[in-house]
């Protein structure tokens, strides 16, 4: 950039800052700014378009176009050249605008006489706010320097828009972050909550976009980048990193050491921006460019660069995660993503969680489930929109979050919460009653658990023990392998809380979707059918043995129940079982008390085990059907793949026929049988499972009430005959016949 344009742009920015520093109404400021830009760039037209809603832009100020068109001229995202700039986030520069593809003629503005057009986005870190346009009569393309100068001005406008400098009448000039926005994502955990936003990582606020002294600013940015490089190098030096973390950090390091990045920021500073504004300008530009890239890998890198820019901004502004803000009452956590340990740290304080990313099977979702915190995932762009303290409604059932909702929405939402609370009250009145059907059959309802956070539910839910304790959660939420004594203490606390009720501890079930942060991940083509669960336990028995020792010590002589995950054949079970005996023997010889009784069971999660030889049924103490995995292998439908997951119904006749065979085999061999997949917690599915003869159902604590309420309403033998009749008539799914029958049953 030449010296002249450099000083021009600095001069322009200084004048711009003076306008912004003078008290004035939003409209007046915008008018002055368009005049100022037009004047200093020697263009006939300068216009500012702002978004009035996410799809529509509105002309908010102009120098050179007809004043009557201000607040009248509007265009859709993508429409015309202005709409194109807004949609792509990239500048459009043309000497002959009317000849451009997509040019839209707007007679009300008198635009046809202007031939050249330069439009640049007004955007702040990926948040599109509007478009800044300059136009001239003569047919000339604007120079690189001119484009750059307009971009720098647009950056300052973006910062000031964000700070509410142009707030005024009309939707497009409404103060930022004030309007209601609805985010449609997916369900992470059901439930509804009303509260106020608590940002996991609050946005950095830049209040000084323009700076007078480039030398000082350049010193600041160099120093901050230096600090950033050191911090990334430190992170990389940690030895607990897995391959993936390392790759991400390597990418960070590459960006942090990129000369181009620093050089561009220094140029921005030379043009008159402060160090902070320069970081944001480059962050926005890279985002806009990369958002055009369909490649997932590059998009991930976009996130990396974004993270890095945020770190740099935090170094520059001194605004850490802790901004000194106090957490509001009924906090709803809003974040791009969050790890299970961090979520657990917040604990039950949170009323809800809304994430931009995440997945149903993610560890954060598992924790949210354990804590019964409603959670919405895939709420795109919520971290850009939400501010700390904003009112927010989380509808985990629908996977929707309403930010700054209208009163009507809030009212109907509160009705929904009240209804749920009423139902909850009804369920808690059943807490101490058995799940006894009208015809006198008693089903044992137990709970699934895995975290200390689950323990209060043992008493609160009315569960008759823990049918599945997923021990891997304790491994997943840590940064390093837990120690034996630590685990022994924890398991002992679980047993204490159970007060003599049975707790089925399932040994470590890792692999597949559960990858320990501190273990080398295996690149397997198909991890769900790969080296997981008991397969890992038997091949590398160190951890399994340590866990068994911890369990035996935790029992302190009390009865103990151990369950092995993902057993597919008898040999695996007998091998796992002999590890138990070996450890019992060892603990005994070390003088530790051994459990007075020990039950050793297997999870039936693959069809093969249902066809195991008689000897298996003779030796196993109990079987628990892991319906989540069993269904995925029965139907060959990945449980993590939304597209196929819901395609096959648990009440599909073939699946129930299969369960019936398992029930028969267990009956004939006198083997205790339970079911502990998610389906056990869905009332109608639970009814079908009970009707098929499964006497123990283990589910999330929150499901016990609804399942019990339904079971107590029905005659189980009748439900079974509805199933049998429908099967005999050739129904391929029992959901409808059962639902129809249920609607005829008294409440
Ligand atoms: C199952 O597969 O049904 C089960 C209970 O185990 P997990 O969901 O932990 O794989
Ligand atoms: Mg499983």
pLDDT of residue 283: 86
| Range in 128-132, 400-404, 418-422, 734-738 the model is least confident about | 418-422
Token pair for 375? 């959670």
Could you report how far apart the first and last alpha carbons of the chain are, in Å? 79
CB of residue 514 inside a 6 A radius of ligand 1: no
Catalytic residues: 363, 676
Q: Is 676 in the pocket of ligand 1 (CB under 6 A)?
A: yes
Contact at 8 Å (CB) between 455 and 497? yes
Pocket test for ligand 1, best of 505, 509, 566, 674 (most atoms within 8 A of CB): 509
Q: Which of 603, 694, 703 to mutate to test the pocket of ligand 1 (most atoms within 8 A of CB)?
A: 603
Q: What is the per-residue pLDDT across 526-584, written as a single tens digit (0 to 9) for each?
A: 888 999 999 999 999 999 999 999 999 999 999 999 999 999 999 999 999 999 999 99
190 lines ligand 1 (CB under 6 A): no
Q: Please compute the mean of the pLDDT values over residues 403-412 and round it to a whole number.
A: 94
- Exposure string of 239-268, with b = 16+ CB inside 10 Å and e = fewer, is eebeeeeeebbebbbebbeeeebbebbbbb
Query: Residue 6's closest CA among 143, 149, 208?
Result: 149
Q: Bridge-partner residues for 75, per DSSP?
A: 57
Task: Give the residue-averaged pLDDT of 88-107.
Answer: 86
pLDDT digit string, tens, across residues 636-670? 998 877 678 889 999 999 999 999 999 999 999 99
* Neighbour count for residue 374 (Cβ, 10 Å): 25
Residue nearest to atom 9 of ligand 1 (CA): 470
Ligand closest to CA 476: 1
Q: Quickly list DSSP for 310-347.
A: HHHHHHHH---S--SPPPPSSEEEEES---HHHHHHHG
Residue in this structure with the two tokens 């309007």, named with its chain if needed: 179
Nearest to 79 by CA among 62, 56, 61: 56
Mutation to probe ligand 1, out of 366, 605, 655, 700 (largest number of atoms < 8 A from CB): 605
What are the pLDDT digits (tens) for 298-344? 767 776 777 788 889 989 988 766 666 788 999 999 998 887 778 88
Are the CB atoms for 498 and 456 separated by under 8 Å? Answer: no
Q: Whose CA is nearest to atom 1 of ligand 1?
A: 626
Reported as a pLDDT band with limits 50, 70 and 90, residue 111 is: low
Ligand 1 centre and the CA of 495: distance in Å?
A: 21
Query: How remote is the CA of residue 166 from the centroid of ligand 2, in Å?
Result: 55
- Which atom of ligand 1 is found nearest the CA of 632? 2
Supply the residue whose CA is at minimum distance from atom 6 of ligand 1: 626
- pLDDT band of residue 7 (cuts 50, 70, 90) is low
Expressed in angstroms and rounded, the spacing between residue 565 Cα and the centre of ligand 2 is 7
> By mean pLDDT, which of 235-249, 654-668, 724-738 is the weakest?
235-249
**Residue 472 CA: which ligand 1 atom is closest?**
9
Candidate from 48-57, 93-102, 521-530 with smallest mean pLDDT: 521-530
DSSP 521: P
CA distance linking residue 185 with residue 247, whole number of Å: 29
Residue with tokens 């892991």: 626
pLDDT for 587: 96
pLDDT digits (tens, 9 = 90+) for 169-226: 776 777 777 888 999 999 888 889 999 999 998 878 788 888 889 999 999 999 999 9
Distance 399 CA to ligand 1 centre (A): 23
For residue 206, the model assigns a pLDDT of 84
Distances (CA, A) of 429 to 184, 222, 683: 35, 65, 18
> Which pLDDT score is estimated for 4?
43
C-alpha distances in Å from residue 329, one per residue of 1, 194, 332, 389: 52, 10, 9, 9
Cβ atoms of 339 and 357 closer than 8 Å: no
Whether 704 is in the pocket of ligand 1, judged by its Cβ within 6 Å, is no
Can you tell me which atom of ligand 1 is nearest the CA of 624? 5
Could you tell me if the CB of 626 is within 6 A of ligand 1? yes
Average pLDDT along the chain: 89
Instruction: Write the CA distances from 498 to 464, 492, 504, 681, integer angstroms.
Output: 9, 10, 11, 20
pTM above 0.75, yes or no: no
Could you tell me the distance, in angstroms and rounded to a whole number, from the CA of residue 371 to the centre of ligand 2? 20
Residue 360 near ligand 1, beta carbon < 6 Å: no
Is the per-residue pLDDT at 705 higher than 80?
A: yes
Domains assigned to the chain: 3-162 (3.30.450.40), 181-202+327-407 (3.50.30.10), 214-317 (1.10.274.10), 429-742 (3.20.20.60)
160 pLDDT band, cuts 50/70/90, is: confident
CB atoms within 10 A of CB 323: 14
């Amino acid at each position: 950039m030449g010296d002249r344009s450099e000083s021009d742009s600095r001069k322009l920015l200084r004048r711009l800052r003076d306008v912004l520093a003078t008290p004035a109404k939003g409209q007046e400021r915008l008018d002055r700014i368009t005049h100022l830009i037009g004047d200093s760039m020697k263009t006939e037209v300068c216009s500012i378009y702002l978004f009035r809603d996410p799809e529509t832009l509105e002309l908010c100020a102009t120098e050179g176009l007809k004043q009557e068109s201000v607040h009248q001229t509007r265009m859709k995202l993508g429409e015309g050249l202005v709409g194109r700039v807004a949609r792509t986030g990239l500048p459009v520069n043309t000497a002959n605008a009317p000849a451009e593809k997509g040019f839209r003629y707007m007679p009300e503005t008198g635009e046809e006489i202007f031939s050249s057009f330069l439009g640049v986005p007004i955007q702040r870190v990926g948040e599109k706010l509007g478009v800044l346009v300059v136009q001239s009569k003569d047919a000339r393309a604007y120079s690189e320097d001119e484009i750059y100068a307009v971009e720098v001005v647009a950056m300052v406008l973006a910062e000031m828009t964000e700070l509410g400098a142009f707030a005024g009448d009309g939707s497009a000039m409404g103060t930022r972050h004030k309007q209601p926005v609805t985010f449609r994502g997916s369900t992470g955990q059901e439930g509804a909550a009303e509260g106020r936003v608590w940002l996991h990582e609050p946005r950095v606020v830049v209040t000084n976009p323009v700076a007078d002294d480039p030398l000082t600013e350049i010193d600041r940015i160099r120093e901050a980048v230096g600090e950033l490089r050191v911090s990334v190098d430190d992170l990389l030096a940690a030895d607990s990193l897995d391959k993936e973390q390392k790759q991400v950090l390597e990418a960070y390091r590459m960006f942090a050491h990129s000369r181009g990045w620093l050089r561009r920021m220094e140029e921005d500073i030379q043009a008159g921006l402060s160090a902070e504004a320069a970081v944001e300008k480059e962050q926005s530009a890279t985002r806009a460019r990369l958002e055009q890239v369909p490649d997932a890998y590059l998009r991930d890198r976009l996130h990396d660069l974004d993270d890095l820019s945020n770190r740099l901004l935090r170094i520059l502004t001194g605004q850490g995660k802790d901004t000194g803000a106090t957490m509001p009452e009924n906090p709803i956590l809003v974040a791009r993503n969050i790890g299970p340990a961090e979520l657990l740290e917040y604990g039950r304080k949170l009323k809800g969680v809304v994430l931009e990313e995440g997945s149903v099977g993610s560890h954060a979702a598992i924790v949210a489930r354990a804590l019964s915190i409603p959670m919405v995932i895939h709420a795109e762009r919520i971290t850009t929109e939400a501010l700390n303290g904003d009112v927010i409604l989380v509808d985990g059932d629908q996977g929707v979050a309403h930010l700054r909702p209208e009163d009507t929405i809030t009212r109907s939402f509160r009705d929904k919460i009240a209804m749920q609370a009423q139902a909850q009250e009804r369920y808690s009145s059943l807490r101490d009653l058995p799940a006894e059907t009208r015809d006198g059959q008693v089903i044992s309802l137990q709970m699934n658990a895995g975290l200390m956070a689950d323990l209060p539910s043992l008493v609160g839910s009315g569960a008759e023990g823990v049918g599945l304790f997923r021990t891997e959660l304790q491994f997943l939420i840590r940064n390093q392998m837990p120690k034996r004594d630590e685990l022994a203490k924890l398991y002992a606390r679980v047993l204490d809380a159970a007060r003599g009720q049975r707790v089925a501890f399932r040994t470590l079930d890792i692999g597949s979707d559960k990858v320990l942060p501190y273990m080398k991940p295996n690149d397997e083509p198909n991890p769900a059918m790969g080296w997981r669960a008991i397969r890992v336990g038997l091949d590398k028995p160190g951890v399994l043995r340590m866990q068994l020792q911890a369990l035996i010590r935790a029992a302190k002589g009390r009865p103990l129940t151990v369950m092995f995950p993902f057993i597919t054949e008898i040999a695996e079970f007998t091998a796992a079982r002999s590890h138990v005996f070996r450890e019992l023997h060892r603990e005994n010889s070390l003088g530790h008390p051994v459990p007075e009784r020990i039950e050793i069971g297997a999870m039936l999660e693959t069809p093969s085990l249902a066809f195991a030889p008689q000897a298996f049924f003779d030796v196993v103490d109990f079987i628990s059907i892991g319906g989540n995995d069993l269904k995925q292998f029965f139907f060959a439908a990945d449980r993590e793949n939304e597209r196929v997951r819901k395609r096959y119904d648990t009440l599909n006749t073939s699946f129930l026929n299969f369960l019936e065979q398992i029930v028969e085999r267990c009956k004939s061999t006198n083997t205790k049988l339970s079911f502990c997949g998610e389906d056990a917690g869905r009332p109608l599915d639970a009814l079908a499972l009970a009707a098929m003869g499964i006497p123990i159902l283990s589910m999330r604590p929150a499901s016990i009430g609804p399942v019990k309420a339904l079971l107590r309403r029905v005659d189980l033998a009748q439900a079974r005959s509805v199933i049998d009749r429908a099967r005999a008539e050739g129904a391929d799914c029992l959901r409808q016949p059962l639902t129809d029958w249920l609607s005829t049953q008294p409440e």
